[in-house]
A and B are shown apart, each in its own frame.
Chain A
Amino acid sequence: MMKGLKKWRLFSLLAVLTVFLAGCGQEELSTLLPAGQVGKDQFNLLLLSSGIMLLVIIVVVAIYLIALFRFRRSKLGEDHIPEQVEGSHTLELVWTIIPILLILVLAVPTVYYTYKLGDVSAMGAVDDEGNPENLVVDVTAKLYWWEFEYPDLGIVTSQELVVPTDEKVYFNLLAADVKHSFWIPAVGGKMDTNVENVNKFYLKFQKESSGLKDGVFYGKCAELCGPSHALMDFKVKTLPRPEFDKWVAAMQDSKDNQVVANPQGEEIFQQSCISCHANSGVGESGAYGPNLASFGDRNRIAGYLDHTKENLVEWIKDPQKHKPGNTMPAFKDQLSDEELDALAEYLMGLSVEK
């Protein structure tokens, strides 16, 4: 690992390129500001490949420009008949071999990182006492929301992934309806959630999200999945391990120990919402609708709307208006304004962090 890093120092010239590439982008979702080992590995490959490719472009453009300026007919005269050269074996050999060498320079780290990033052998590992050594999260992608189950911890959440920093987090990825793709650009590359098989990969989160603009990293669905594909965002909260453990404990406690900000709202929830949405963080994946145990802690409503009570009421009234094609029914005719208000207040109060 350290050796690998040292190798990269050889390419310090590429630092210039870094500035060029990183000219913009926001740190909560830019692949150019990687916040974890996977993303950094991929960024290094980006620098290496861009460097090689820039070299190719410079050579081509140089020859091109010289040829274009030197051999214009306007200079050579209308009647000039150039020599009909057939070719040159030496030259042709040169521009076959040099690209092969360049490709090799790129191919070796490519293969290395392919295996490195594809290594999930530590996923099921347990220590001497039988406790899992690594955090595993089961991700289920649904139209158009994300469910995150922590099978070893007995808790489940949705829309906002909460993970500890500075350790490998392993993911089981599956889609419940159509294919989606799980992508946290700032932390590492994506992997598809297929409908028929579980994909496994890992990411490493090496920056606390609390310092970011919204306090979260942005996650995206990267595979066209229907009308609201563009809105299938999720957020990622990264916490230091002790805080993460606290969050887990609070989640585990949320079944018995719930904040009820509005009793009328809770009643409505029990009547109208509970068949699809759980308000306890204890459980497994497989719910019809997103788990709402930590709803009040979240950053967005439905993954993308600002986290305000007004937006929440609007959403419950007519979800199709905001996210066409999602499976939640409209409640504008079922619930009065007053009831909606109470329900929203109750939901905004659901919290494990306060």
Chain B
Amino acid sequence: MSSVAQKKGFGATLWDWLTTVDHKKIGILYFLGGGFFFVLGGIEALLIRWQLYKPNNDLVSAGLYNDLITMHGTTMIFLAAMPILFGFMNAIVPLQIGARDVAFPFINSLGFWMFFFGGLFLNISWIYGEVPDAGWTSYASLSLASPGHGIDFYAIGLQIAGGGTLMAGINFLVTIINMRAPGMTYMRMPLFTWTTFVASAMILFAFPPLTVGLFFLTFDRMFGGNFFHHAMGGNTIIWEHIFWIFGHPEVYILILPAFGIFSEIFSTFSRKRLFGYPSMVFATVLIGFLGFMVWAHHMFTVGLGPTANAIFAVATMAIAVPTGVKIFNWLLTMWGGSIKVTTPMLYALGFIPSFVMGGVTGVMQGAAPLDYQLHDSYFIVAHFHYVIVGGVVLAILAATHYWWPKMFGTMLHEGLGKVTFVFFFIGFHMTFLIQHWLGFWGMPRRVWTYMNDQGWDMANLISTIGALLMAVGVIVLVINVIITSVKNVKVSNDPWGDGRTLEWAIESPPVFYNFPTTPLVRGLDTVWIEKMEGNEAGYTAAEPVKDIHMPNGSIIPLLMSFGLFIAGFGAMFRTETSWGLPVLIIGLAWTFVCMAARSLQDDTGYYIKKEELLRDMKRKGGQA
């Protein structure tokens, strides 16, 4: 088990990745998986915009268009944005808190494979030819009426992927609670770790309602349930409540880590401590809490009555306060700093005006009576893309450039990175700014075509051109990745030169046990503190070198997730084929056998011997 690079055959390498429980590798798997789905969702978006670039276009049919919008939304939220953020959380958070791994490496791997197979299941619908078509919200009356297996793919696929997300959430929570290095108190944690913590707590409380909702939908469609069949006494509004009790926190689950990423970047490239760190932490927690109090603002037009609408309207507006605190703290972090406009910083700078735009339009829609006009119009499409793209996607792109050297050991090309930014940023505003007005001008969302002569033609054309520019930006990024991966110029521990948190004190990429000795954390931005005191290594060891306990890899997570994947098909075809029921039972039994095998196996991991560690450290020039 030496860390000396060995040449391995393709089979061995593949097996290594399939069985890995190393948080850094799982992080990369999440990143690649999420990246794949991001491209897929992007292609769907381009088709949507291409269909709408002129009135009465017939590029796609009405049904296919609904497939596209449903899969675009579902893919981007569940299979792209969240997994990519999980990728960064996995790759970075343990390093930031000075841990050697996450709390549950096995479950970490299981979470990834469940996401992967869930996403695969969902997208097999394209091959099968019956695709989810009731929107990513899948409102119950329409999703029950939808013919074919499309919605079944949605319900089961998300159920599997959602299970993985829940596991990942619990894993990060326990990791951050239990695995912090000596001296890493809660109020010394980097903000990305903090936001990961709060987002994970939100996952823990937001995903069970989704699980239940999808369960209801599955049973209504496949097993004779009546939760939403109103003729049988069911109620479709229950789905709307359950969906948004999950769905609203979900938005914050996405945006909080994005806030964390930008907090790191602002601080690093302003060479300055994050302004008002305690209030940043407090604002994060408050946003997390309020995130659960406002779900009905998605339902102002459902007819809940003026009292409910008024309460949720005011609660919604309240969220603007902690979010505003964050914006001003970022601005004041820059103020008086030494700002270097690197590619990640460029994204952070682009984020501020974009996200403020998205935020203020959110407050506008919080005003319930105004929302009666804006709801389900293109205004809301503009709003949530300003938040999700202007916030989350810009954060993902920023983090990709920022942490690329830490994850892959080489730098993305800065020039190409800036080209990506310019295309993406201009394209983004071009696509979505005008959509606010489309909403004002009466264009409902989710329409597959529109008649001419309603004053919408030019705005839609502009929007489509913007989408193409964004695509160009992403293509440049892919080229950048390919070029730098081929060149593969190795970089030092802290290639940006201004690293402040623990991940910059170790190699890029880190050895599989991360820290030869557990670091001693001496304050917020501990690496900065050490560097200012002249300690080039960036961290002080908290203890002498000793044996390190590491978990064993395992193929069981993959096998277990595969069992659920198989069972999903069984459930879907249970009533119409003879093999459906047996396959359902076999799939679930298989999963259960895997679980039992894991439980009975007593896999307690292995130790890296002290001598081996010392050898490693010596070879690298005796750091630490």
A224 and B440 within 8 A (CB): no
B450 and A230 within 8 A (CB): yes
Known A-B contacts A50-B364, A190-B301; the reply to A96 vs B321 at CB < 8 A is yes
How far is B360's CA from A142's CA once the two chains are assembled, in angstroms? 36
| Nearest CB in chain A: distance from B138 CB, A | 10
Known A-B contacts A68-B349, A80-B338; the reply to A46 vs B364 at CB < 8 A is yes
Partner among B271, B334, B455 whose Cβ is within 8 Å of the Cβ of A24: B455
B360 and A87 within 8 A (CB): no
Known A-B contacts A32-B441, A99-B320, A100-B321; the reply to A110 vs B338 at CB < 8 A is no
How far is B140's CA from A192's CA once the two chains are assembled, in angstroms? 14
Q: Which residues of chain B are near A85, meaning CB under 8 Å?
A: 272-273, 275, 332, 336
Complex: chain B residue closest to A77, CB-CB: B338
Is A91 located at the chain interface by the 8 A CB criterion? yes
How far is B275's CA from A309's CA once the two chains are assembled, in angstroms? 70
| Nearest CB in chain A: distance from B446 CB, A | 4
A42 and B370 within 8 A (CB): yes
Number of interface residues of B (CB under 8 A): 90
A42 and B352 within 8 A (CB): no
Complex: chain B residue closest to A76, CB-CB: B338
| Nearest CB in chain A: distance from B617 CB, A | 30
Q: Which residues of chain B are near A175, meaning CB under 8 Å?
A: 141
B353 and A60 within 8 A (CB): yes
How far is B441's CA from A29's CA once the two chains are assembled, in angstroms? 6
Known A-B contacts A181-B376, A189-B369, A196-B237; the reply to A103 vs B338 at CB < 8 A is no
B377 and A222 within 8 A (CB): yes
| Nearest CB in chain A: distance from B325 CB, A | 6
Number of interface residues of A (CB under 8 A): 94
Q: Which residues of chain B are near A95, meaning CB under 8 Å?
A: 324-325, 328
Stretch of B106-114, B304-312, B484-492 lying at the A interface: B304-312
How far is B371's CA from A183's CA once the two chains are assembled, in angstroms? 12
Which residues of A93-149 have CB atoms within 8 Å of chain B's CB atoms?
A: 95-96, 99-100, 103, 106-107, 109-111, 113-119
Complex: chain A residue closest to B366, CB-CB: A110
Q: Which residues of chain B are near A199, meaning CB under 8 Å?
A: 302-303
Q: Which residues of chain A are near B139, meaning CB under 8 Å?
A: 179, 223-224
Known A-B contacts A25-B455, A195-B230, A228-B62; the reply to A117 vs B372 at CB < 8 A is yes
| Nearest CB in chain A: distance from B347 CB, A | 14
How far is B141's CA from A229's CA once the two chains are assembled, in angstroms? 14
Known A-B contacts A32-B440, A227-B62; the reply to A86 vs B277 at CB < 8 A is yes
Is A274 located at the chain interface by the 8 A CB criterion? no
Known A-B contacts A224-B446, A226-B142; the reply to A304 vs B451 at CB < 8 A is yes
Which residues of B361-400 have CB atoms within 8 Å of chain A's CB atoms?
A: 361, 363-364, 366-373, 375-377
A220 and B444 within 8 A (CB): yes
How far is B145's CA from A88's CA once the two chains are assembled, in angstroms? 57
Is A45 located at the chain interface by the 8 A CB criterion? yes
How far is B236's CA from A110's CA once the two chains are assembled, in angstroms? 28
Over the window 126-168 of chain B, the binary record of Cβ atoms lying under 8 Å from chain A Cβ atoms (1 yes, 0 no) is 0000000111000101100110000000000000000000000
How far is B335's CA from A84's CA once the two chains are assembled, in angstroms? 11
Is A57 located at the chain interface by the 8 A CB criterion? yes
Is B276 located at the chain interface by the 8 A CB criterion? yes
Partner among A72, A109, A220, A224 whose Cβ is within 8 Å of the Cβ of B134: A224
Over the window 53-77 of chain A, the binary record of Cβ atoms lying under 8 Å from chain B Cβ atoms (1 yes, 0 no) is 1001100110110011011110010
Is B337 located at the chain interface by the 8 A CB criterion? yes
Which residues of B290-341 have CB atoms within 8 Å of chain A's CB atoms?
A: 301-303, 305-306, 309-310, 313-314, 317-318, 320-321, 324-325, 327-329, 331-332, 334-341
Is A21 located at the chain interface by the 8 A CB criterion? yes
Q: Which residues of chain A are near B508, meaning CB under 8 Å?
A: none
Partner among A53, A60, A73 whose Cβ is within 8 Å of the Cβ of B363: A53
B373 and A46 within 8 A (CB): yes
Is B442 located at the chain interface by the 8 A CB criterion? yes
Over the window 195-231 of chain A, the binary record of Cβ atoms lying under 8 Å from chain B Cβ atoms (1 yes, 0 no) is 1110110000000000000000010111111111111
B63 and A82 within 8 A (CB): no
| Nearest CB in chain B: distance from A301 CB, A | 13
B331 and A30 within 8 A (CB): no
A42 and B369 within 8 A (CB): yes
Is B66 located at the chain interface by the 8 A CB criterion? yes
Q: Which residues of chain A are near B575, meaning CB under 8 Å?
A: none
Footprint of B on A, CB under 8 Å?
Answer: 21, 23-26, 29-32, 39, 41-42, 45-46, 49-50, 53, 56-57, 60-61, 63-64, 67-68, 70-73, 76, 80-88, 91-92, 95-96, 99-100, 103, 106-107, 109-111, 113-119, 173, 175, 177-179, 181, 183, 185-186, 188-192, 194-197, 199-200, 218, 220-231, 304, 324-325
- 15 additional A-B pairs beyond A46-B373, A220-B444, beta carbons within 8 Å, are A24-B455, A30-B441, A31-B441, A61-B356, A72-B340, A72-B341, A86-B273, A103-B317, A119-B306, A181-B301, A185-B442, A197-B237, A197-B303, A222-B301, A227-B63
Q: List 10 A-B contacts (CB under 8 A).
A: A24-B441, A26-B441, A64-B352, A71-B335, A99-B324, A103-B318, A114-B306, A114-B310, A183-B376, A190-B301
Footprint of A on B, CB under 8 Å?
Answer: 61-63, 66, 133-135, 139, 141-142, 145-146, 230, 234-237, 270-273, 275-279, 301-303, 305-306, 309-310, 313-314, 317-318, 320-321, 324-325, 327-329, 331-332, 334-341, 349, 352-353, 356-357, 360-361, 363-364, 366-373, 375-377, 437, 439-442, 444-451, 454-455, 532
Nearest first, the 8 A-B pairs at minimum CB distance are A189-B372, A118-B306, A230-B447, A185-B442, A53-B360, A87-B276, A29-B442, A199-B303
